[in-house]
Amino acid sequence: MERPVNLHEALASFDDVYDPRIVARMNDYDVRIAHTAGEHVWHTHADTDEFFLVLDGRFDIELRDRTVSLGPGDVFVVPKGVEHKPSSPGGSILMFEPSGTATTGDRHEGEIPAHVKTTRGTPLA
């Protein structure tokens, strides 16, 4: 049996933004947490929805037709195949994604900002 993970302690254990840590696995899904600050990149996930829960701060998800602004406790799901670009003045999020899902999607538009890491999640140390 796994041990409990305190999300506040887990977030305090790293500083990187848009570089999620895997805090748990459930079936074929990762539960990931990440610090957010600045703009991400326009991207899409062709075969999976993307679940976001804001833990702290503000997190905006720009869609092609609107921007969804989220605060602590807010949940939003980006449907599969929908282009989106996250941005944040600072905060932290929790995500549910199929294991192996790339943070910059199956395809992305433009150059990936230096502060955004393309990863499939890093296990929490």
pLDDT in tens, 55-99: 999 999 999 999 999 999 999 999 999 999 999 999 999 999 999
pLDDT in tens, 20-40: 999 999 999 999 999 999 999
The whole-number pLDDT of residue 78 equals 97
Confidence of residue 123 (pLDDT cuts 50, 70, 90): confident
The whole-number pLDDT of residue 1 equals 46
Residue span of the structural domain in which 116 resides:
7-123
User: Which runs of E-coded beta strand occur in the chain?
Assistant: 21-26, 29-39, 42-44, 50-63, 67-70, 75-78, 84-98, 107-109, 122-123
Straight-line distance from the first to the last Cα atom of the chain, in angstroms, rounded to the nearest whole number: 18
Q: Is 91 domain-assigned?
A: yes
The whole-number pLDDT of residue 34 equals 97
The whole-number pLDDT of residue 23 equals 96
Q: Is 31 domain-assigned?
A: yes
CATH code at 34? 2.60.120.10
Q: Is 2 domain-assigned?
A: no
pTM of the full structure: 0.92
Query: DSSP letter at 33?
Result: E
